[in-house]
A = this chain, B = another copy of it.
């Protein structure tokens, strides 16, 4: 199975045999089944998640209903706020698909970087890009209508349409599943 991780990583970084051995010993790569829950509301955690393959989501349970707030696919990183503020998590994290993740403990990262310095670049190179994307997602959510958000999703993250269940996609867009159906049929009519 480790071969799979390195096949994926080799797209982004070239590791020597020795570096691969060290990485294997660090046990940061995990293969997880669809619907695995990685973090629950109320739990403390030190872990960050980098998606190598698959899709994970954060969701809150509010008045008994799941509210999906964020979706992470290949090479996106989720740093839960509870890791940094050392408070119990307010949300859940689970796998939408069978996924391969690099899961790192906040306290161990320095040790990992010392053992395999190249990996620091691999983990950190995208941070600025992810920060810009995250800041833009918030701007977009604040300034657009649900229909505009759906059109933006079709344009910018079309793969999510087939990978994420409709009711989760609806709450991610801030609408009910019924509203999402209406938006979809309105757009279909306009384009037909």
Contact = CB atoms under 8 A, between A and B. Distances in A.
Contact of A84 (B67, B129, B138): B129
Contacts of A131: 77, 79, 127, 130-131, 134
Interface stretch (A23-31, A95-103, A139-147, A158-166): A139-147
**How many copies of the chain does the oligomer comprise?**
2
Contacts of A127: 124, 127-128, 131
A54 interface: no
Contacts of A79: 128, 131-132, 135
Nearest to A69: B139
Interface string A71-87: 00000011111011000
A84 B124 CA distance: 16
| Interface size class of chain A, counting residues whose CB lies under 8 Å from the partner chain | 20 to 34
A80 B136 CA distance: 8
Given A127-B124, A131-B127, A142 B81 contact: no
Interface of A: 48, 58, 60, 62, 67, 69-70, 77-81, 83-84, 90-91, 124, 127-139, 141-143, 174
